[in-house]
Structures are given as structure tokens and as C-alpha cells.
Amino acid sequence: MTTSRSAESSHVTNTLARSRLGTAAVVFFVMAAAAPLTVTAGGATSGFAITERTGIPIAYLAVAAILALFAVGYVAMSRHVVNAGAFYSYVAQGLGKPAGVGAAFIAVLAYNAMQIGLYGGFGAVLAGFLGDRFGISVSWWACALAGWAIVAVLGVLRVDLNGRVLAVMLLAEIAVAALFAVVMVANPAESGFTFSALSPGFLFSAGIGAALVTAVTGFVGFEATVVFSEETRDPRRTVARATFIAVAVTGLLYGLSAWALTVATGPDKIVAAAQEHSTELIFTLVQPHVGQFVVDLGHLLFVTSLFAALLSFHHTVGRYLFSLGREQVLPAVLGRTSRRTSAPKAGSITQSTLALLVLLGFAAAGADPIVHLFFWVTVSGGLGVLILMTLTSAAVIGYFIRDRRGENVWRRLAAPVLATVALGWVLYLTIDQFAVLLGVDPASPLRWLFPASFAVTAALGLLWAVLLRAWRPEVYDAVGLGANAAAANPFGLSTPLVTEGSRA
């Protein structure tokens, strides 16, 4: 093994290093996917309105802390596994292959839910904006379908938004969100300036699980830093630093912005205000103080931020389906890519088809785009990602128990154990209080429907793993090994190759 340090004077290493990513680039890639304005203007306000909990701001900060803890072990393990972009390969290598296939199925469902749910927000916000500012009356689903068509085409062509465009949009979003927060804090409600929504006491109050999973949903996307681990200048440090920066910046932004909302309305009135104005709340609150131009800019960035998130999650699903198709856990056709553009064609089309069916279903049923599609479906996706993170955190412990691989006790044991306990606690609270999260009666069958869908998916995954072991042992053996899996490669040798990882 050559380390980057000993190879400093190597022409090969230096040439390769020149095209690699630094910390800032990785942070931009993942934060743009997390789309800050989507969360501060859409997620937080819907969270207040639907869960009727005032503790959302402190929930964002608490979740940021838990995720930072989770990231310690996660990033440590990412240095040792191939196919580092996918949660299921961690689970397969840490908790066993059946659990890995189960996790893979959960991941496909969860990221699809995240992506499809966002169409509700995109459609409703765009329709509202067009109606208010231009007097064009279109239904939310028409806007959502227009967004869907663009994402479907860009997905097959593999057009990512240009990195520089994303960076500018991201900085503008952060600036607008921060400006709005400052304006709201500077103009508190009659009840006066108060920190009460940041009181840690909320973390132990009833119904906090709903607030916590809302917060988790806002962070989904940060885990993508490890996808770039092979492309960074210094894999040992760049990815870790980028992950922590992304979690810290988004956590502070979300927490303070949600807190600013409670200051501007008064903590006792935030729920009523959010229910009245929905995703317009933040704009309504700042409008008297900043003028129409900034509010329009904010609206526009809200729409583009939703779109960036849509495209990013579309690519995430495509990537998962590609990985699974390549390992032949799912039909091998999903592992096909477009020759000229390298788009995971089949995976992209599958995702788009599914999204279209769900969108048409919601439109036909006359469901509310913000409550039923945007909030319910994305937080269910957030629940799925929470399950995945809990499993992954446990997998990190399992992985390093067998072999320490030179990681210290904090990274391989202490932090993962703490993170697993914390994530497990959040998961328990969430499922226990899912009725609060959906804003439905505790006796409603809906409260079990969403969590049960993940349980059924996981069970199907386990069953599929057992069948694979019986029917296609060579595929089963390769689960979670990515490109180095012999089954995934037409040149796979009958004797195993030395595959100590491509970043050796």
C-alpha cells in the first residue's frame, strides 16, 4: 500500500491529484443537494403546521449533533469499503449480506419517497408563485408534471446542474435564508424577543419524535460526501472535513432560521401562523421589512432549490439502482449505462416512471400537494433514511469489531455506539409518534401504513437475500462489493482477485 504521504514526489500521484476535489468542492456538491431554502422555507414551516410542535428549532440542532456523531464512524468506514456511495454496502459488510439486501430495498424506497414527495412542494410553490406574481392560474400538478418532464429528460441525458451554477445558487440561498432570519429576529412579535423555542426541554417533551424526523429529513443528502472519497485530494481528511462542515453549516442554518420564525410570530402563535400561511409563512413575515424584490428573489430561489433537490435525489436513486443492477441483486438491465453520457439509463427511466405514476395518483385523488405529498411522503422518506443510518451506524461497529484497521477507539467504537443509541432513540420516538408527525388521529391506520411499508420492504429484501443465496450464490457472495464483485464484471475470474480497494 502506498500512502499519499510517501508518494508525494511521485509523478503519477501528483498528476492524479491535480484533477481532484478539495473540501470546498465536496461541501458545495452535497449542500446543494440538501437545498437549504427548501428546508427553511418549506420543511420547517410545514413541520410547525402539521406536527403542531414548537420544538422544531432545537430538533434541528439536536439532529445535527447526532449526525455529526454518526459521521465519525461512517467516514472512518468509508475509507475501507469500496462502493462507498451506498448505505447498503456498509450494512452488507458490517451486519451481513441479508441485512445488506434489506437495507438496499429500504434505500430504494426511501430515496424514491424523498424525490417524489418534493414534486408536491415544487408544484405547489411554483403554482402559487405564478398565480401571485403573474396572475397565471395553473394547478399544482401541472407544474409538478412540467418539473417531472425536465427531470426525466435531464436524468436520461445525465445533465447535472453545472457545479459553478450550483455553487452560486447555494450561496444565494444561504444568503437569503440568513437575511430572512436576521430580519425576523430584528422584528420580533409583540410577545418580544425569546429563546424559548431553543430550550433543550423540548427534547424530552411529548411528540418531539415528529420534530426530530422532520429535522432528519432536512439533512438527507449530506451522506453523499463519501461518494467523492476516491476523487478527493486527501481521502483521509477531505471527506471527513467536508462532512462535518456540511452538517454544521446546515444544522446552524436550519436551527437558527426555524428559531427566527418563532421569534417573528411569537412561540405561542407559530403553529397557527404556519397552518394559515403554509410554505408562504417565511415570505409573509419578511415582506413588510425587505420589499418585494427580495421576496421575489427568495421565491425564485425556493423554486430552483426544490428543483436542484429533485434532480439530485433523482440521480441518487439512479445511482442506487445502477449499483444494485451491476451487482445483479436487481435485474442486470438496471446496471446498463448510456454509452455516450454514462447516465444509468434504465435506473433513471424506472425512477421517472414511478414518480409519474405516484404524481398522477395524487392528482387524481385530489390530495393536498403540501400536506399529503410534500410533507407526508418526504418525511416517510426521512424515516427510511433514519432507519438506514441507524443500521449503518450499527454496521460500523460490526465492521470494526472484526478488524480494527488502524482506526482509534473513538472512531471505530465509542462514536458509532453513541450514534447508534441516539439514532435508535430518535427512530423509536418517531415510530411511536408517527400519528403526530402526520397530524392524524392516533387511531388512524395511516400512522402504521408508512412505517409498515418499510418493514415490508425490509422483509422482502431479507427474503430476496435468502433466495439469492439458494439460486445464485455467486451474486449473493458479491453483495455490497461494488465494482470489485466478480459477478458484476464480465472478466470476473474464477479465482478471487486481490482487491484491497482501489485507493490503495
Partner 1 sequence: MLADDFFRLAHDDVTGRPRLRPKAVGIGCAAALLTELVNTRHITVADNRVTVVNKQPPADSLAHVVLDQLIAEAGREHNVRTWLAFLAGQAPEQVAHRLLRAGHVRMEAVRRLGRQTGVLYVPLDMNVAARPWALLSHSLRRHDPLDYESLCLAGLALATGLDAFLLDGAPAATFDYLRQAVGTLCPPMRELLFHTHAAIGDAVLAHRT
The residues of the shown chain that bind partner 1, judged by CB under 8 A, are 2, 7, 10-13, 15-16, 19, 21, 29, 83, 85, 158, 160-163, 227-228, 230-231, 315, 319, 322-323, 326, 335, 337, 339-342, 344, 482-484, 488-493, 497-500, 502, 504
CB of 79 to partner 1, least distance (A): 15
* Angstrom distance (rounded) from CA 344 to CA 334: 7
Q: What angle do CA 458, 460, 462 make, to 5 degrees?
A: 70
Helices (runs of H) and strands (runs of E) counted in the chain: 21, 0
CB of 81 to partner 1, least distance (A): 13
Indicate the residue among 198 and 485 with the shorter CB distance to partner 1.
Answer: 485
- Rounded to a whole number of angstroms, the distance between the first and last alpha carbons of the chain is 5
Indicate the residue among 161 and 435 with the shorter CB distance to partner 1.
Answer: 161
* Angstrom distance (rounded) from CA 73 to CA 240: 10
Beta partners for 232? Answer: 21
* Gyration radius from the chain CA atoms: 22
Indicate the residue among 75 and 184 with the shorter CB distance to partner 1.
Answer: 75
Indicate the residue among 365 and 504 with the shorter CB distance to partner 1.
Answer: 504
Q: What angle do CA 59, 60, 62 make, to 5 degrees?
A: 60
Indicate the residue among 331 and 361 with the shorter CB distance to partner 1.
Answer: 331
CB of 413 to partner 1, least distance (A): 29
* Angstrom distance (rounded) from CA 39 to CA 181: 13
CB of 274 to partner 1, least distance (A): 36
CB of 107 to partner 1, least distance (A): 14
CB of 85 to partner 1, least distance (A): 5
Cα 321 from chain centre: 16
Indicate the residue among 134 and 491 with the shorter CB distance to partner 1.
Answer: 491
Indicate the residue among 10 and 353 with the shorter CB distance to partner 1.
Answer: 10
Beta partners for 21? Answer: 232
Which grid coordinates belong to 367?
390530495
* Angstrom distance (rounded) from CA 417 to CA 398: 10
Cα 373 from chain centre: 17
CB of 99 to partner 1, least distance (A): 22
CB of 499 to partner 1, least distance (A): 7
Indicate the residue among 111 and 322 with the shorter CB distance to partner 1.
Answer: 322
Is the C-alpha dihedral spanning 356, 362, 364, 366 positive or negative?
negative
Indicate the residue among 43 and 155 with the shorter CB distance to partner 1.
Answer: 155
**Do the beta carbons of residue 451 and residue 98 sit within 8 Å?**
no
* Angstrom distance (rounded) from CA 32 to CA 107: 20
CA of 75: how far to CAs of 24, 72, 230, 491, 501, in Å? 17, 6, 13, 31, 16
- Three-class DSSP category at 362: helix
CB of 68 to partner 1, least distance (A): 24
Which grid coordinates belong to 155?
436524468
* Angstrom distance (rounded) from CA 61 to CA 198: 9
A 10 A CB-CB count for 248 gives 14
- Three-class DSSP category at 24: helix
Is the C-alpha dihedral spanning 346, 347, 348, 354 positive or negative?
positive
CB of 337 to partner 1, least distance (A): 5
Indicate the residue among 50 and 82 with the shorter CB distance to partner 1.
Answer: 82
CA-based nearest residue to 433, from 451, 417, 420, 458: 451
Indicate the residue among 279 and 484 with the shorter CB distance to partner 1.
Answer: 484
CB of 160 to partner 1, least distance (A): 5
